[in-house]
Amino acid sequence: MLRRVAALGELLMRGEVPRQTTTHTTMNTSQSTSSLIGKTVAVLCTDGFEENELLKPRAALDAAGAKTILVSPREGTVKGWTGEGFGRGVPVDLVLDSARAEDFDALLLPGGVINPDRLRLEPAAVDFVRAFFTAGKPVAAICHGPQILIDADVVTARRLTSYPSIRRDLINAGATWTDEEVVVDQGLVTSRSPSDIPAFNRKMIEEIAEGVHAGARR
């Protein structure tokens, strides 16, 4: 046994034997949880967002090392919609009037029926979203979140998905709509509903890690 251990040690020193698989697994986990270190992601929403569509993707971004900033047209807190009424408040980090797309690496657009409908009536919100596409930066939108992309005039010839009820609106605006749990098109990540969040989170983190997509500039 001692001879075997000594021989194994000599091989390891020469780099001829791989390290233990447990070490490899730990390295992979470390890489996945730190893939977005140094990235800053804007989370744009107002009252009426779907709670799971904000809190779960934001938690995934935080776990991957990103800094997330909740941007909203209003100060103080914004409240999510639970299906039965407004839920708990989430603090606003930055008022929209003070937000600049050039200060962020990516954008997250949670859904909810009320939230996107209110945002698309805010010219500053529409301009903020459009600026990410102009720069080719990753944008992730889930459920009703893609609605504001119509007003930003950035869906023409883009492949995406959404909650089925806004399918026709997106198609009429020039998008190619598909019924898949997650769709990626040059840095634009879209999903249909809260049930798609695991797949949405994975692709969102991948696209943000890749950085600017030159082909996505509009």
User: Which residue from 161, 201, 74, 169 is spatially nearest to 125, judged by alpha carbons?
Assistant: 74
Told to judge if 213 belongs to the known catalytic residues of this protein, a careful annotator would answer no
Find the catalytic residue in 24, 45, 144, 213: 144
User: Which residue from 151, 143, 153, 137 is spatially nearest to 187, judged by alpha carbons?
Assistant: 137
46 within 8 A of 74, measured Cβ to Cβ: yes
**Cα–Cα distance list, 79 to 63, 92, 115, 201 (Å):** 23, 10, 10, 22
Find the catalytic residue in 24, 45, 143, 213: 143
Told to judge if 144 belongs to the known catalytic residues of this protein, a careful annotator would answer yes
Residue for token pair 């903020």: 128
Question: Which residues are identified as catalytic?
Answer: 143-144
